[in-house]
Amino acid sequence: MLFCVRMDVAIPRDLDPAERDDVVARERAYSQELQRNGEWAHLWRIVGQYSNISIFDVESNARLHEILSGLPLFPYMRIEVTALTAHPSAI
């Protein structure tokens, strides 16, 4: 199943800098592992924002939920999910 996911991150300004660095490092490692295994198929940064548009290729809605809720930055995100299907005019 393919999903387009927009993630907008808003880390609190008063978060301890060491904790911020830790959560960002864990987020990078987690997302890169998902990219390596093919579930996080595409990742694009939205210019000028702490946001991204991603394409996930997962076996189920439940797996996508598991991935997203497991993101270390999840508590600081607003997430919008759109399910995708093939377009009849696509080549």
CA 37 to mean position of chain CA atoms: 14
Asked whether 3 and 59 are in contact (CB, 8 A), the reply is no
How confident is the prediction for the chain on average, in pLDDT? 97
pLDDT interval class at 3 (50, 70, 90): very high
The predicted structure's pLDDT at residue 44: 98
% the chain with pLDDT above 90: 100
Superfamily of structural domain 2-84: Dimeric alpha+beta barrel (3.30.70.1060)
Instruction: Name beta bridge partners: 2.
Output: 57, 84
Q: What is the pLDDT of residue 65?
A: 98
Domain boundaries, the chain: 2-84
Model pLDDT for residues 30-40, shown as the tens digit of each residue: 999 999 999 99
